[in-house]
Amino acid sequence: MNVYDSERMADVLRPLGYAPTDTPDGADFVILNTCHIREKAAEKVYSELGKLRQMKEEKAAAGQGGMTIAVAGCVAQAEGEEIMKRQPAVDLVVGPQAYHQLPELLTRTARARGERIGADFAPNEKFDALPATRGTEGVTAFLTVQEGCDKFCTFCVVPYTRGAEWSRPAAAVLDEARALADRGVREVTLLGQNVNAYDGEGPDGNPFTLAKLAYALADIPGIERIRYTTSHPNDMSDDLIAAHGDLDALMPYLHLPVQAGSDRILRLMNRKHGRQKYLDLIDRIRAARPDMALSGDFIVGFPGETDRDFEDTMDLVRRVNYASAFSFMYSPRPGTPAATMAAQVPDAVAKERLHALQALLTEQQVAFNRSLAGRVLPVLFEKKGRHGAQAIGRSPYLQSVHVEDADQLIGRIFPVEIVSGQQNSLSGRLTQTN
Ligand code: SAH
Ligand code: SF4
């Protein structure tokens, strides 16, 4: 979501004559787009700001003019005032629902430092104000369709930083997708904190589901692949599951976080479903789309988690058999209910659990990648590889696929015979070239 937002910030600033640079050295304007989800991400902001301050001073000392520094994203939203206090080099902070105001903020900051614009705006104002054309390059693109969250899992800051759940009208999403297709985009990944809770206004004024949106997107000439992330198990509706069975453009890869495998911990997390409901859901999804590759998010060391609870997580992972997954040590976030729960798990215990879980998840990922050897998969070629005429593409299951002598195919989908699977990618060869 931050990648999407950063691209859109560039779109907003382009008419003012700004163009993206590869490094911040010497830039006139630097925006640090930040994440507040875990403490580590938030802490990084201050160390990055220290480096930027030095660059700013060096640029001024060399007589090369000023450097305006902005902090955007969820850390700006949650800690804007503290950032201004702790790092005087920062000129402005802008929350995730207000970045469309960057041009205006830039002119204001010339007058007075510290006029803070927060996220006290509705997301529709932001999306209405964003330019219709995007500067996106490449054959895949993110497209935000839903923002915010009302679920209030007890560990999570998202409902506080991104605000309430809100979906963009289908017409706006479809227009943006058409513009992307015109620029050569073949695969769109629909984004939302709870993307499958999407209920934006449909063409007849009634709410559209994510499944309906997917069908409408698949009708756009040029859009050949559709993905979406992140989904919540409780919003995995029947029509979306059915769409996976009959809409070819909907890719057989689903990121469906469960966080933990113990009913007790799921309850403490306020996830509003138990382990069996998740396992049954996986069965129904696999019944609709037998080759569905599953991915998930896991938190270990949630307050009160015992060895027994953790074993339930390991057991759930063994039952589901994930194609890939993200796992994290619980990080207490200010203002969330879990941060003040008793029985915080010692770091050393959480670390040990994380290692065990990651070893199992890696084993499953490697096994899945290896199991594809010998299969012929449609690959969307995205970019040149590191050497010669190698090209890198994506399988339906989201793995990177390296193929020799394929750079002339970038932007197109071609059948590739998978030769081998490694931990993080596949190698393949073309079975036909025209
Ligand atoms: N809406 C998505 C998750 C968005 S946050 C969902 O409900 O599944 C992305 C991931 O960050 C979460 O799935 C969770 O695994 C992790 N996460 C969120 N808060 C965290 C915290 N306080 N500590 C550790 N991991 C956290
Ligand atoms: Fe955070 Fe996801 Fe829970 Fe919402 S549903 S509170 S975004 S973890």
Shared domain for 267 and 328, answered yes or no, is yes
32 plus 131 within the same structural domain: no
CATH number at residue 42: 3.40.50.12160
Q: Same domain, yes or no, for 361 and 229? A: yes
Distance between CA atoms of residues 162 and 195, nearest Å? 14
Whether residues 184 and 47 fall in one domain: no
Question: Which distant-in-sequence residues (6+ apart) come within 8 Å of 16 by Cβ?
Answer: 103, 106
Q: Does 140 lie in the same domain as 108?
A: no
The answer, yes or no, to whether any atom of ligand 1 lies below 6 A from the CB of 155, is yes
295, 314: one domain: yes
Q: What is the pLDDT of residue 111?
A: 45
Q: Does the C-beta of 254 come closer than 6 Å to ligand 1?
A: no
330 neighbors 310 (Cβ within 8 angstroms):
no
Nearest CA to ligand 2 atom 1: 156
Who contacts 24 (Cβ-Cβ below 8 Å, separation ≥6)? 30, 52, 55
Nearest ligand to residue 269 Cα: 2
Q: How many domains does the chain have?
A: 3
Which domain CATH number covers 265? 3.80.30.20
Is 344's C-beta closer than 6 angstroms to any atom of ligand 1? no
Q: Write the residue with the smallest CA distance to atom 7 of ligand 1.
A: 232
CATH number of the domain that residue 411 is part of: 2.40.50.140
CA 332 to centroid of ligand 1, rounded, Å:
12
Q: Do residues 388 and 283 both lie within one domain?
A: no
Among the candidates 119, 146, 170, a domain finishes at 119
35 is in an annotated binding site: no
The CB density around residue 196, as the number of other CB atoms within 10 Å, is 23
Place of tokens 């063994």: 318
- Give the other-Cβ count within 10 Å of 160's Cβ: 17
- What is the DSSP pairing of strand 68-73 with strand 29-34? parallel
Q: What is the 3-state secondary structure (H, E, C) of 225-288?
A: EEEEECCCHHHCCHHHHHHHHHCCCECCEEECCCECCCHHHHHHCCCCCCHHHHHHHHHHHHHH
The response to whether residue 259 sits with its C-beta less than 6 Å from ligand 1 reads: yes
Quote the ligand 2 centre to 119 CA distance (angstroms).
18
Tell whether 331 and 406 lie within a shared domain: no
Query: 401 and 332 in one domain?
Result: no
Q: Residue 335 Cα, ligand 2 centroid: separation in angstroms?
A: 14
Q: Is 149 annotated as a binding residue?
A: yes
Centre of ligand 1 to C-alpha 37, Å, is 7
How confident is the prediction along the chain (434 residues), in pLDDT tens digits per residue? 999 999 999 999 999 999 999 999 989 999 999 999 999 888 899 999 999 999 999 999 999 999 999 999 999 999 999 999 999 999 999 999 889 999 988 887 654 454 455 545 567 888 888 887 788 789 999 999 999 999 999 999 999 988 899 999 999 999 999 999 999 999 999 999 999 999 999 999 999 999 999 999 999 999 999 999 999 999 999 999 999 999 999 999 999 999 999 999 999 999 999 999 999 999 999 999 999 999 999 999 999 999 999 999 999 999 999 999 999 999 999 999 999 999 999 999 999 999 999 999 999 999 999 999 999 999 999 999 988 999 999 999 999 999 999 999 999 999 999 999 999 999 999 987 66
Is there a single domain that holds both residue 193 and residue 284?
yes
- For 115, the domain range is 2-119
How much is the pLDDT for 112? 47
CA of 166 to the centre of ligand 1 (A): 19
Burial group, residue 432, by CB count within 10 angstroms (0-12, 13-18, 19+): exposed
Residue whose Cα lies nearest atom 18 of ligand 1: it is 156
156 and 103 belong to one structural domain: no
Q: Which one of the ligands is nearest to 38 CA? A: 1
Same domain, 225 and 106: no
Q: Which residue has the tokens 């382990």?
A: 275
* Residue 158 beta carbon below 6 angstroms from any ligand 2 atom: yes
Q: Which of 321, 356, 371 is the last residue of a domain?
A: 371
- Which of 371, 389, 418 terminates a domain? The answer is 371
